[in-house]
Structure 1
C-alpha cells in the first residue's frame, strides 16, 4: 500500500466513523430539551436534559466536534 493509498484509507475510515453517531437536541416534555446520541441506524438514546435550548445545542456541538477530532 502506497502512502497515498494509506492516507486515503484513513480518511475513509474517519468519515465512516463520523457518520455512525451524532448528537442532536430535541424538545422534550416539561419545557426541557433532550440531548441524545443517534447512531447510523437512526436509533437514539438520551444523554442528558437541559432547561435551556442554547445550552443543549452548545453541548451537542461540542460533543460532535470532539467526536470528529477523535476520529
Structure 2
C-alpha cells in the first residue's frame, strides 16, 4: 500500500466515522433535549437543558470532539 493509498484509506475511515453519529438539539416540553443519533437514524436522549444556547453549545462541542477523535 502506497503512502497515498494509506492516506486515502485513513480519510475515508474518518469521514465514515463522522457520518455515523451526530448530536442534535430539539425542544421537548419546554426544555431542550440533547440527543445522539446514529447512522441508522436511531436517536436517544442524552440530557436536557433549560436554555437553547447551552444545549446548542453542548451539541457543537460534542460533535467537534467526535470529529477530532476520528
TM range (shorter): over 0.9
Q: Which runs of 4+ in 1 moved over 6 A?
A: none
TM-score by length of 2: 0.99
Let me know the Cα RMSD of the aligned residues. Answer: 0.3
Using the TM superposition, give the Cα deviation of residue 57 of structure 1 relative to its aligned residue in structure 2, in angstroms.
0.2
Correspondences of 1:1-71 after superposition (within 5 Å): 1-29=1-29, 31-71=30-70
- How many correspondences in the alignment? 70
Q: Distance in 2 between matches of 1:7 and 1:48?
A: 37
Using the TM superposition, give the Cα deviation of residue 19 of structure 1 relative to its aligned residue in structure 2, in angstroms.
0.2
Listed as ranges, the gaps of 5+ residues in structure 2 are: none
